[in-house]
Amino acid sequence: MSKKVYVGMSGGVDSSVTAALLQQQGYEVTGVYMKNWSQDLPGFTCPWKEDFQDAKRVAVQLGIDFKMYDFEAEYRQKVVDYMVSGYQAGITPNPDIMCNQEVKFKLFLEAALEDGADMIATGHYARIIHDGPATLLTGLDKNKDQTYFLYRVTEAALRKSLMPIGELEKPEVRRIAKELGLATAEKKDSQGICFVGKVGIKDFLLAELGEQPNGPIIDQHGRTIGEHDGALFYTIGQRHGLSVGGGLPYYVVGKDMAKNEVYVTTDLQDDRLWHRQLTLTQLHWINGVPPDGAKLQVRSRYRAALVDCTLQTQGNQLVVALSEDIRAITPGQSAVIYDGERVLGGGIVI
């Protein structure tokens, strides 16, 4: 008897091709649109209805069942509130990572299994090996690899998940979609925050929190050189949007939320911009804790190059010693630990 797979269909080309490939492989496929966010913002219309219709069109083309799961209330609590409170605390959280942990590979997985599915599938550029303990490997398309966003998924969830396009490169995915005449074949990839489409993070935070108090921008010599429009909008390493003109470009190197101050430098070699060590908290390991001293690699942001590192556990934190300096390490972001192609896990930068 063929296995029942519920495919998370977002209305994009990647999840459309995921559904088509699994159908070709003999699975009994059901498409599911997750309604996580439907709120319009000033000047921006949430694209959820259009995405839902696109996903439904593809399901009709493939002749598969299609349904919608409404996770909006849980999404607001687990992802949006997490992100907003992080910015208020002065850190830069990653909502896409939390969405995978809490929604796609928890809520969606649980709802699908309860509904009679044997497994779920997503259109992520990553690979899962199911022989023995389920392990997560980087996608074959190194330019599109999304394992950075998946490191907090559990081994138990991976065991019940499929990611077929992890074996393909993006141009091949587009080619398959065109060959099959799928409605989403030419649709552009979504940009911006995972749940609000093209809205910039600053616009989103303004809509959520309102205008923020102005405060001083202070340079490396302790001089006030301008005024910011809310310290929470600024992130370490940021260069654009500082509104302090003339001369060399300024980079954000720190901020003090209590004093409402943002610190900048024109010195690209400023010690506050570069780190040879990371400290991580809220650790998550997919297949068990790697041994201290192991020679591994770390990725400090999406699409950043892997850097050789060694690990040292200190209580419930992890110290990551780097083989070279990394620029603009940002508290609240994730650092992900790899052993070659294999994703071991990681944690949140403090």
Give the residue from 227, 247, 265 where a domain finishes. Answer: 265
Q: Is the pLDDT of residue 208 over 90?
A: yes
Residues 301 and 249 in one domain: no
The domain of 332 spans: 274-349
Cβ atoms of 204 and 233 closer than 8 Å: no
The pLDDT, as a whole number, for residue 334 is: 98
Residue 204 lies in a domain: no
Q: Is the pLDDT of residue 55 over 80?
A: yes
How many domains does the chain contain in total? 3
Separation between Cα atoms, residue 206 and residue 204, nearest integer Å: 5
Residues 84 and 107 in one domain: yes
Residues 22 and 104 in one domain: yes
Arithmetic mean of pLDDT over the chain: 95
pLDDT in tens, 222-259: 999 999 999 999 999 998 877 776 678 999 999 999 99
Residues 100 and 246 in one domain: no
The pLDDT, as a whole number, for residue 242 is: 77
Residue 157 lies in a domain: yes
Residue 200 lies in a domain: no
Q: Is the pLDDT of residue 213 over 70?
A: yes
Name the nearest CA neighbour of 14 among 185, 136, 198: 185
Q: Is the pLDDT of residue 146 over 70?
A: yes
Separation between Cα atoms, residue 9 and residue 29, nearest integer Å: 11
Residues 246 and 292 in one domain: no
Tell me the one-letter amino acid at 241.
Answer: G
CATH number at residue 301: 2.40.30.10
Q: Is the pLDDT of residue 328 over 80?
A: yes
Separation between Cα atoms, residue 100 and residue 209, nearest integer Å: 25
CATH number at residue 246: 2.30.30.280
Mean pLDDT score, 265-279: 95
Residues 163 and 294 in one domain: no
Q: Is the pLDDT of residue 117 over 90?
A: yes
pLDDT in tens, 58-112: 999 999 999 999 999 999 999 999 999 999 999 999 999 999 999 999 999 999 9
CATH number at residue 64: 3.40.50.620
Catalytic residue numbers, as ranges: 99, 194
User: Could you tell me how far CA 133 lies from the centroid of its own chain?
Assistant: 24
Separation between Cα atoms, residue 168 and residue 228, nearest integer Å: 44
Mean pLDDT score, 21-38: 97
Residues 62 and 154 in one domain: yes
Cβ atoms of 36 and 62 closer than 8 Å: no
Instruction: Name the token pair of 179.
Output: 């060959």
Mean pLDDT score, 111-121: 98
What is the separation, in whole angstroms, between the first and last Cα of the chain?
A: 49
The pLDDT, as a whole number, for residue 331 is: 96
Residue 198 lies in a domain: no
The pLDDT, as a whole number, for residue 1 is: 72
Mean pLDDT score, 120-128: 98
Task: Give the DSSP per-residue string, 39-78.
Answer: --BTTB--THHHHHHHHHHHHHHHT-EEEEEE-HHHHIII
Residues 152 and 36 in one domain: yes
Mean pLDDT score, 7-34: 98
The pLDDT, as a whole number, for residue 35 is: 96
Contacts of 81 (CB under 8 A, 6+ apart): none
Residues 121 and 167 in one domain: yes
List the beta strands (DSSP E) in 165-245.
Answer: 215-218, 224-228
The pLDDT, as a whole number, for residue 196 is: 58
Residues 233 and 321 in one domain: no
Mean pLDDT score, 254-275: 95
Residues 43 and 163 in one domain: yes
Instruction: Give this prediction's pTM.
Output: 0.95
Mean pLDDT score, 272-296: 97
Antiparallel, parallel or unpaired: β 65-70 and 4-8: unpaired
Instruction: Name the token pair of 305.
Output: 């190059």
Percentage, residues of the chain above pLDDT 70:
97
Residues 170 and 295 in one domain: no
pLDDT in tens, 177-199: 999 999 999 999 886 666 555 67
Residue 143 lies in a domain: yes
